[in-house]
Chain A
Amino acid sequence: MRPVAADEIESLAIGAWILGTGGGGSPYLALLNMRQLYRKGVVCRLMDAAELADDDLVAVVSNMGAPLVGQERLTDPKTMALAVTMMEEYLGRKFHAVMSLEIGGGNSIQPFMAAAMLDLPVVDGDCMGRAFPEAQMTSFAIHDLRMYPLTLADVRDNAVVVARAASWKWMERISRKACVEVGSIASTCKAPRTGKEIKECAILGSTTKAIGIGRAVQAARRAHRDPIDAVLEVAAGVKIFSGKIQDIARRTTEGFLRGTATIEGLDDFRGHTFSLAFQNEFAVGWLDGLPRVMTPDLICVLDTVSGDAIGTETLRYGQRVTVIALPAPPILLTPKGIEHVGPRAFGYDLDFRSVFA
C-alpha cells in the first residue's frame, strides 16, 4: 500500500481518458473533486490486490449515466460514498477497499472520491481495462461471478438496491431504468467482491498503467517530444492511422451513441481512408474498406498535436487525429472474453483478429 500524490491523480486523468477508447466520460470533473479534496489534506492510498486477504470485501464503484448530464449535474464524492455505505448497510458488512469498475474515463477517479470520504484504500485495478458501455462487458461477467446486489444513489437522497437480477443483461436493464428515472446520472456500487475474486478475476495494475500513460504524455509535452510516440512506447501500442476527420455520422439507438467517423489520411497515410465505427467507445476501424482494428483491442483517437484523447461525443469535422491501438487485457482475448466484448457483441459480423497477434 502506498500514498498517491496529487500529481499522480493528474496523470491518471490523462491516461484514463486515453484508455477510455472514446467513451467513459471525461475525467475532468472527478479530477476537480480530487484537487479540492487534496487541498483539504486528503491523501488516498493505492494497494496491490495481493495485499487483500481472500475474504476481504471490495466495493466496485462507478458513476452511471449520460456524460452530457454529468456536465450539468457535475459529480460529487458524497453521493459516490453514499452508494458504498448503502451497500455496507444492506450487507451488514464493512468494505476493506474500493476499486474502479472501468479504468477508461471518469470512472477511473470515482473510487478515489469514495475512498477519500470513507478513508479506504483503492485497489490498483478494474474489471474492464478500458471503457465499455454495458455491465456484462467486464472481466467479472466473463468469469461468471454473481452480478448482484447493486446500489444506486442520486444526489437528492434517492437510492435503489437491486437485490437480485437473473443475468448481467437484466442487471443492466434494471439499473439503467432506475438511473434514467433519477435524471440519467447516479453513483453506483456494483456487486461486492471478495479479495479472492479480485485477485483471480479483476484486471490488475490498470490504475498504475493509466498513471504511467498520463505521466509519459506530460513528460513528452514538457520536453517538446511527440506525446503520441510516448503513449505508444509506454503502453506497447501501435500507430494505426493519422489524418483529418472528413465526416461524422451519429445516431442513438437503444441508448447507445452509434456512428462512424471517416478520416482522410495525412503524411504517411496520404491517399488512404480510415473509417471508424463507435458505440459510445470506438469499436471497429477499417483501412480502405478492410477491417484493420477491432474491439477488444483498445482503439484510441488522439489529437495529433497535443496527444489529448478525443471522445466519441467530441469528434468534429476537421480535427487532426491519430488512431492508435493498445493491447487488451488477456482475459478479454479468451474465447469467452471475445463472446462478451468482441466485434459480434457490438453487432459486427467479424472474426476477432488482434492487431497484436
Chain B
Amino acid sequence: MNARSAAARLSVRMSASSVQAERPVSDLAARRKREAQRRRLTVAGLRLGLGVAILAGWEITTRLGWVDAFFWSQPSAVAAKLWLWITQGTDLGPLWEQVLVTMEETVGGFVVGSILGVIFGVALGRSRLLSDVLGPYIKGANAIPRVVVGALFAVALGLDIRSKIATAAVLVFFVVFFNAFQGVREVDRNLIANARILGAGDRQLTTEILIPSALSWIVASLHTSFGLALVGAVVGELFGATAGLGELIYAAKNNFDTAGVFAGMALLAAMALVAEAFITALENRLIKWRPPVATETRI
C-alpha cells in the first residue's frame, strides 16, 4: 500500500512535469530519463530478489534436512558467526584486524606485482634482444602452477606479511607483465613516427607514447590481477600465518566449522567488491581519453 501510493505520487509528479514541458524535445528527454530510472529500479529489484531466493533456498533445504547443514552450513548460522566475530572478535583477535592484515597483504602484493609487471613488460616490449633472451624463461615460469611458490616463500620468508606479499606479487606479475608487453608491442607505428618527427627522444617515446598506449591494456588487466592478489594473500595464509582471513578460514576448517568458512568467504567477496569499485574509479581516471563505451540507444 505504502509503495503503491509512493509510486502514484511519483507518476503524478512526472506527468505534471511533462505537461509543463512545452517543447517535444524536453518531453522526450524526460521520458528517456523516466525509462532509465524505471530500468535501474527493475535491475535493483531483480538483484535483491535473486539474492533472497538463493539464501532462502539454502536456508530452507538445510532446515528440512535435504542438505546436511553440518557440511554445507546455512545462512542463519553464517550470519550468526559473522555477528559473533563482529561483536566478540575471532579466535585470532578482533575481526577488523584480520581483514586489515589480509587487505595489507593483498594490496602490497598487488602494488609490487603490478609495478614489476609494468617495468618488465615495457622493457621487454621495447627491447627485441631482451624479449628474445628472457622470453622462454618467462613462458616457462608462467607454466608453473604459481600458487605453489607460496610454500617456498612460507619457508624462505617466514610466517609474516612478506611471504604473502611475495606470493600475491608473483600471481599479479604475470598477468600485468603479459598485458604491458602486448600493449607496448601493439602501439600504432604512426604515433611513434609522429612523436619522433616532433622531436621525442627515447625516454619521451617511452613515457609519452608507449606507456600511455599500453595503459589501456594494463588497466584492463588490473581487474583480474586484484582478484589474483587476493588469492595469493589467502593461499599464503593457508601455508602458514598468525592472522588474516585465510588463516581464519583455515582455523574454521580445522574445527569442522563450515559456518566460519562461509563467513570468511563472504568477507573476502565483500573485500573484492570494494576493491573492484576502486579499480574502476582508477581506470576512469587513467584512461579518460577513451571514448565512453557506447550504451544501448533506444528511441
- Do the two chains bind? no
* Residues on B facing A (Cβ under 8 Å): none
